[in-house]
């Protein structure tokens, strides 16, 4: 199989590239390195197109002669979207439409995209199923709703085979800590390793369904290998529910260190609780075995130690 990964120099994309190559597939990556890192692809035997998905020439080059596209390129982060909603819309909503149109023009009929659990927003239901109502709380979440709905519309309009996953707090090796919009697990691990206090936004009762990147990549690759399509969004998580205070304890256990914690004001746009109903995922991927949070944190801590 010939696979294109948009945003392939990013955290999830670079892990997926490695997994696909290990499975014997050919990989092309497109990334403008605005949020990805070229070092993530060190030693990776993939064709690299350095460019933006908003640049038609770069995108046409990348999508030529591939069988499937995994669209991961995006501007992440709720706070970033609140600061600059237009840039987030361009990268995530317009970017997704650009990828779909480039695939259609190139005759590529299978596209997998990454949406987000943030689309549920103000919906208080736990666990959250795909047919629950959505109410985004941030510009980022709105763009992710567009990211998933465009490919589903392309199924109906053009007969394209598409699959839209809602990611829930993916973590693991190659998720960087040293920037203002970093995710919570690398921020916590990095602070613990440096002997700094772990910053918690709010009282620490917010909860998340943390999902290990290796599990996510196995599902993404399986979807491409089977050219899988589904007419509705699919939660890609496994129904766990861990508060930030519980997460601190688990990271302490994984690292064998004790942490100090500092509480900050809650962030605007942050969802209070997030937990997936994974019934649909299990029906489509009945053999997937998720990595436990304990094992995933141990692997992530080990990667941080190796790279320091």
To the query of whether residue 140 is one of the catalytic residues in this protein, the response is yes
Q: Which DSSP string corresponds to the chain?
A: -EEEEETTTSHHHHHHHHHHHHTT-EEEEEE-SSSS-GGGGTT---EEEES-TT-HHHHHHHHTT-SEEEE------HHHHHH-HHHHHIIIIIHHHHHHHHHHHHT--EEEEEEEGGGGTT---SSBPTTS-----SHHHHHHHHHHHHHHHHHHHH--EEEEEEE--EE-TT---SSTT--HHHHHHHHHHHTPPEEEESSS--EE--EEHHHHHHHHHHHHHTT---SS-EEES----EEHHHHHHHHHHHHT----EEEEPPPTT--SB--B--HHHHHH-TT--PPPHHHHHHHHHHHHHHH-
Q: Work out whether strand 207-208 and strand 242-243 pair parallel, antiparallel, or are unpaired.
A: antiparallel
Q: Are 199 and 239 in contact, with CB atoms under 8 Å apart?
A: no
**Which residue of the set 37, 120, 140, 181 is catalytic?**
140
Q: Going by C-beta distance under 8 Å and a sequence separation of 6 or more, which residues neighbour residue 187?
A: 177, 198, 199
Tokens matching residue 104: 């259609």
Which of the residues are catalytic? Answer: 140
């Amino acid at each position: 199989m010939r696979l294109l990964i948009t945003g392939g120099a990013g955290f999830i994309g670079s892990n997926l590239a490695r997994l696909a190559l290990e499975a014997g597939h050919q990989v092309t990556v497109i990334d403008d390195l605005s949020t990805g890192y070229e070092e993530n692809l060190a030693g990776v035997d993939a064709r690299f197109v350095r460019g933006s998905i908003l640049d038609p020439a770069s995108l046409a080059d990348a999508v030529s002669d591939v069988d499937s596209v995994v669209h991961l390129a995006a501007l992440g982060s709720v706070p970033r979207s609140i600061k600059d909603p237009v840039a987030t819309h361009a990268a995530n909503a317009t970017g997704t439409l650009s990828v779909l149109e480039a695939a259609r023009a190139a005759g590529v009929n299978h596209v997998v995209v990454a949406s987000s659990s943030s689309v549920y927003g103000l919906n208080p239901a736990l666990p959250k199923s795909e047919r629950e109502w959505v109410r985004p709380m941030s510009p980022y979440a709105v763009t992710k709703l567009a990211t998933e709905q465009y490919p589903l519309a392309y199924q109906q309009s053009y007969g394209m085979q598409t699959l839209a996953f809602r990611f829930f707090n993916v973590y693991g090796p190659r998720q960087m800590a040293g920037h203002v919009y970093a995710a919570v697990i690398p921020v916590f691990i990095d602070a613990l390793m440096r002997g700094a206090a772990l910053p918690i936004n709010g009282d620490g009762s917010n909860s998340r369904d943390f999902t290990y990147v290796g599990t996510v990549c196995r599902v993404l690759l399986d979807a491409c290998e089977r050219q899988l399509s589904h007419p509705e969004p699919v939660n890609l998580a496994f129904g766990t529910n861990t508060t930030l205070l519980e997460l601190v304890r688990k990271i302490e256990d994984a690292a064998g260190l004790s942490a100090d914690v500092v509480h900050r004001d809650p962030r605007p746009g942050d969802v209070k609780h997030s937990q997936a109903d994974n019934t649909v995922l299990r029906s489509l991927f009945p053999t997937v075995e998720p990595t436990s949070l304990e094992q995933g944190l141990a692997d992530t801590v080990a990667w941080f130690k190796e790279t320091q």
